[in-house]
A = this chain, B = another copy of it.
Amino acid sequence: MIKISEKIPIMINGLPGNVARTMAAAGIADERFLVMPYSLTGQDIPETTAMVGENEFLLCKPDTRDKKIKAIFAQYPFFIAVDYTHPSAVNGNAKFYSRNNIPFVMGTTGGNREELEKTVQDASSPAVIAPNMAKQIVGLQAMMAYAAQTFPGLFTGYSLEVKESHQQGKADTSGTAKAMVGYFNELGTDFKKEEIQQIRDPKIQENQWGIPREHLSGHGWHTYTLKAADGSSLFEFKHNINGRDIYVSGTFDAVVYLREKVSLKGNKRRLFTMIDVMNQS
């Protein structure tokens, strides 16, 4: 049994990437955690170390990590991994965590999600897996799922417009927007995911949307508009996220939640979602 009162050692994986960097900086500033000076990274990353503020991190690549993990365990017999790496690394990393009994929070999207879940279910250590760690967005999605299940067809006859703005580097359509369209379809709207309007032009983002300049390089603004055919009613839902701070809070809640799960004897469930974290179930 691990003492809950101690700081939780966490290994932030995905440095020198932006999201991992944000998580590492926030973790260093957070009294609940001890951020370990190691980070899993991609085979193609040229650096061997990364700096986050004054803190130096040793980067561990796939070809040497099985060897290095023994030394890390000697120093940190227990820790929780926080994964913000790359879609291509999702399944390999999950297997690495599982065979080393490392509980982990998987914030990285993409990869083969079914395989990911199976890896966790076959493992002996637990994981929180969530494509979106922003609790308020997860809550909004849960509301929509509830409405779709409880009132299917509620918005039949309504037109839907979906616009999402993200930083220029984001090539694919927002996964959250696609998930939301799924709910709106169940609610009766006739709308294809391909009709989602992607805004990636920083000029439009700043001038037409009013997105603060400092967040043009990292933001997710979503607007969903439902209109009755006769113009008699309009319903609109917006969630506008600037920067990545909102993901930090949810990720760290997931770490604390996992730590508690590990401490409970006889807990056989392995796979948790952000809904579990939010419900403390």
A residues lining the B interface (CB < 8 Å) = 134-136, 139-140, 142-144, 146-147, 150-151, 154-155, 212, 226, 228, 230-243, 245-246, 278-279
Known: A143-B143, A143-B147. A241 touches B246 (CB 8 A): no
State whether A235 touches B140 (Cβ < 8 A): yes
Known: A142-B151, A150-B142, A154-B139. A231 touches B236 (CB 8 A): no
Chain B residues with CB under 8 A of A151:
135, 139, 142, 278-279
State whether A239 touches B233 (Cβ < 8 A): yes
State whether A240 touches B246 (Cβ < 8 A): no
User: Lowest 9 A-B CB distances belong to which pairs?
Assistant: A236-B238, A234-B240, A232-B245, A143-B143, A139-B154, A146-B146, A139-B151, A143-B147, A233-B241
Cross-interface CB contact of A237 among B139, B147, B237, B279, cutoff 8 Å: B237
A143 to B139, CA, bound (A): 11
State whether B147 touches A144 (Cβ < 8 A): no
Least CB separation from A187: chain B residue:
B139
Chain B residues with CB under 8 A of A150:
139, 142, 279
State whether B235 touches A136 (Cβ < 8 A): yes
A245 to B212, CA, bound (A): 40
Known: A143-B143, A143-B146. A246 touches B234 (CB 8 A): no
A243 to B243, CA, bound (A): 40
A139 to B152, CA, bound (A): 10
8 contacts between A and B (CB under 8 A): A134-B233, A136-B233, A150-B279, A234-B238, A234-B239, A235-B238, A236-B237, A236-B240
Chain B residues with CB under 8 A of A140:
235
Chain B CB within 10 Å, residue with most, of A143, A239, A243? A143
A236 to B225, CA, bound (A): 11
Least CB separation from A278: chain B residue:
B151
Cross-interface CB contact of A139 among B147, B240, B242, cutoff 8 Å: B147
State whether B235 touches A154 (Cβ < 8 A): no
